[in-house]
Every structure is written in structure tokens, then in C-alpha cells.
Amino acid sequence: MKKLTKLIGLKKIEFDDLVNQIDSPIQLRPARLIPVLKTGDEMALTSILLSSLRLIKEFRDIVFREIKMSRNGKVFFYTEVCFPKIDKSRIDGLILVTKKDVITEAAFVEVKSKKDEIDKIQIEKYIKIAKQLKVNTLVTVSNEFVSTPEQSPLRLKTGKFNLFHLSWSHIITHGHILLFDNDNDIEDTDQVEIMKETLHYMEHPNAGVNGFLSMKGWKELSANIRGKVPIPKDIDYLENAINSWYQEEADISLMLSRNLGVLAKTPIRTEATLKADKSKLVKDFTLAGQISVKNAVSDIKILIDFERRSVSLKNSILPPKDKGTVARITWVKKQIENCKKSESTIFQKISDKIWVEADIKFARENLKVNFNNMEDLYEQSKGKDIQKFHISVMDGFGSGFSSEKKFVTLTEELVLNYYEGIVQNLTNWNQPSPKLNLSDN
């Protein structure tokens, strides 16, 4: 009876022989697209996810690129994996990549659904098993958000071992983007239908797949800032609130991605950014965010102000350099008026909250007016050189600001309205192409 000492380097036929032994050192099931399990079961989600990766080439290419696995070779997907001679633990999934019938890459997969979070002790155990089998990759999937798949919700030092994390929203977003009519869509019509069915299952209310729903620590932080209670930098609710914002920021970008058909991005959040944000929040009671959308006029800058209990969204826009100050103001005014014409219903919802800032050369502060008072900007900017404009909306959430659930829904509604009503209709001025002058020839 052959003993299992490794997966990487093992011939696939040897792997299959080990699986089929009576007292097998490898116990597993092939991943099924239609598993005989109840909706919402974590193993059902695991099986459907892995099967969709097996069946949809473009979907597999995207996910494999993110978890640094080869997109060449033959791929096999399994669920309910156990190596009883090493450990009795049941691992949710296993991915094998073979080249010339030899296993060259492997990854363990651990899946959580609903409110279940990735468990540190469990993951440490799985990493230990993986290393014994010469496997150096583990992918976790849950409703927890990170700013990049190379980050983990856990604070683990893994050395050269690869620990990746994908949120369910991140996975679903990739699926939706593939269904858009763009350069990255799915070529095979049957695979398109499989992608649709997979998303239909994952987005079912009983599947256990959620977006970000609640800001942990937010209520206590808001109450203490309002009550002028000193906030220690090492207090749990401060760190929980900032990490909640990082997750909400990631969720907002995925929400935009699903609606736009392109992947919006957020800054990578690390221990260093967490430390910096703690200091800033304790000092001036603000928290910042940013969302980058390909081909948008500029990045969306987000500012959360705990004293004002408000959220503001801002984009920069470059005016014509070949025109004077008055013409530049008129130019940006027309841009916003065009937003009103293009998206009148949405624009009306935020019209009183729109502000225009003029960035004045050599000035310490920008000139800022409400869009309804744009005429004031002509007077205030006389004799000044406007370098660029900032268009923003600011909404005071009132009591909803401190609500751990209402803050999420109010912020996401504001972002969608702002993007649809303003951002998608703004364009920067571009230097015209130089023209030939052949009249003298």
C-alpha cells in the first residue's frame, strides 16, 4: 500500500490509486454543479463555486490569476477532502493543476457563509496539513471583505505560504462583469448560461451569501465622539469601526463594479494604514476612503466626518487651460447642467447637496460654493487663476450616521446616486491635437 507523502510532484494516476484504496489516505468527492445538498449549505456553495470554475474558462482564468495559480494544464476540483493518516479534519475544497499527468500545483479551499467568519485556529491547522503535503496555497472564501485577494481577514504570518481570500461579493462581481458585453465576456454560449445559473443560486436569499451589512464598533465610536469622550488608540471599538469602514469601502466598489461592468478598485489597506487612520480619527474625527473606476473623470474621494455626522464624495475635474477664469467657471457649470439634463430624476435627489470648489493657484484654501449659488463664484474668483475644480456632494445622515446598519444603506445609496447623477457625466478638458498650417505652402 503506497503511503501519501506529498501532492505536488505526484502523478495523477498515483493520486487516483490512493483515492481508490480500501483504507485510503485521501478521502474526497468530485465537485458537482448540482450537489444533493440543501440551499445555503456551505458544502453546496463550495461544490457550485468549484464546478463553475471548472466549467467556465473565463471565470476560472480571472480567479486563478488572483490566487496566482497557473491557467495552463488540466485542472481538477474536489470537495469534502480529508487526509485521515495526517489529520481527521475535513477541508472544504481542493484544486489540482496537472501538466503531463503530474500534479504541479495544488490549493486547499475553506468556505464560510452567512455570518460565519474565517477561523484562525482552523486555518493554522489546514496550513500545517498543506505543508506536510508540499502544498503552498490556501484560499478562504466568506462574506468578509478585504481590499485585495492577497490579504486575509486573519492576522497570520505565513512566510512563503500563500494565503488568499475572496469575498462572496467579489466572486459574484466577477461573474456579473463577465456577463456584460465587453472585451472580457464569456465566448461559449453554454458557459454563459452556467454563469447565469451559478449567480442565480449564489444571490438567492437562502444561499448565505451577503454583502456588507453592519459597521461593527461604529455606534460606540460615534456616541463617544459626540459626547466628547476621550478615545484611546488601542481601544477595540476604534479598530473595529475602521476595519468595518475598510470592508464597506470594498463592498461599495464591488457594488459599483456590478452595475458598471468594470472592476472598481480601492486602496490596499494594511496595518500601517490602520495605524495612520487611528491617529487621524482620534485627532480630527474624520475617516477617508477612495474608489477608482476605469475611465471615470477621476477617483472618488470619500470623507466621513464624525462631528458633522456626514459623508462627502468628491471628484476633481480639469478645466480648459486655453480659457480665462470666467470661461472656466462657465465650462464647469455647463458640465453639471448637462448632468441634470442626462439624469434629471437622480440629479434632483442630490441637487441641493452639490458643491463646487475652485482650486486657486497659490491660494491656501479653495473657493467653495453650493451649485445653486454658482453665480457667487464668478465674483469671488475675479483676478484669480483657477487650476482645477472639485465637484462634491455632502449628506448629513443625522441619527442614521451612528446606526451600524443604516450607515451602510445610506452611504451606498448616496454613492450610487452621486455616480449616476454626476460622475458618469463629467469629463476632463483635453488639449486639442495640433493642426497643420499649410496655407503658406
Q: Structure pTM?
A: 0.89
Alpha-carbon span 316 to 300, nearest angstrom: 8
Alpha-carbon span 215 to 145, nearest angstrom: 12
Residue 240 near residue 222 (C-beta atoms within 8 A): no
pLDDT by residue, tens only, the chain of 441 residues: 578 999 999 999 999 999 999 899 999 999 999 988 777 789 999 999 999 999 999 999 999 999 999 999 999 999 999 999 999 999 999 999 999 999 999 999 999 999 999 999 999 999 999 999 999 999 999 999 998 999 999 988 888 999 999 999 999 999 999 998 766 689 899 999 999 999 999 999 889 998 898 999 999 999 999 999 999 999 999 999 999 999 999 999 999 999 999 989 999 998 999 999 999 999 999 999 999 999 999 999 999 999 999 999 999 999 998 899 999 999 999 999 999 999 999 999 999 999 999 999 989 899 999 999 999 999 999 999 999 999 999 999 989 999 999 999 999 999 999 999 999 999 999 877 777 877 655
Burial of 431 (0-12, 13-18, 19+ CB in 10 A): exposed
Q: Is 177 helix (H, G, I), strand (E, B) or coil?
A: helix
Q: What is the dihedral of CA 222, 224, 227, 232, to 10 degrees?
A: -140
User: Which three cell numbers mark 364?
Assistant: 491656501
Residue in the structure block whose three cell numbers are 477608482:
292
Residue 405 near residue 242 (C-beta atoms within 8 A): no
For residue 155, the model assigns a pLDDT of 86
Q: Is 252 helix (H, G, I), strand (E, B) or coil?
A: helix
Residue 92 near residue 79 (C-beta atoms within 8 A): yes
The number of angstroms, rounded, from the C-alpha of 231 to the middle of its chain's C-alpha atoms is 29
Residue 246 near residue 291 (C-beta atoms within 8 A): no
Of 363, 361, 421, which Cα lies nearest the Cα of 392? 421
Pairing type for strands 286-291 and 310-317 reads: unpaired
Alpha-carbon span 151 to 291, nearest angstrom: 18
Q: What is the DSSP secondary-structure string of 333-385? A: HHHHHHHHHHTHHHHHHHGGGEEEEEEETT-SS-EEEEGGGTHHHHHHTTT--
Of 104, 218, 108, 114, which Cα lies nearest the Cα of 162? 108
For residue 431, the model assigns a pLDDT of 79
Q: Which helix (H) or strand (E) holds 50?
A: helix 42-55
Alpha-carbon span 427 to 319, nearest angstrom: 9
For residue 36, the model assigns a pLDDT of 80
Residue 304 near residue 289 (C-beta atoms within 8 A): yes
Alpha-carbon span 173 to 153, nearest angstrom: 19
For residue 440, the model assigns a pLDDT of 59
The number of angstroms, rounded, from the C-alpha of 271 to the middle of its chain's C-alpha atoms is 18
CB atoms within 10 A of CB 85: 12
Question: How far from 293 is each of 61, 77, 253, 261, CA to CA, in Å?
Answer: 22, 34, 8, 10
Q: What is the dihedral of CA 205, 207, 209, 211, to 10 degrees?
A: 0
Of 35, 37, 36, 40, which Cα lies nearest the Cα of 207? 40
Alpha-carbon span 267 to 28, nearest angstrom: 39
Burial of 356 (0-12, 13-18, 19+ CB in 10 A): buried
Alpha-carbon span 414 to 397, nearest angstrom: 10
Count of CA atoms in the C-beta half-sphere (13 A) of 278: 17
For residue 182, the model assigns a pLDDT of 66
- Across-strand partners of 83? 87
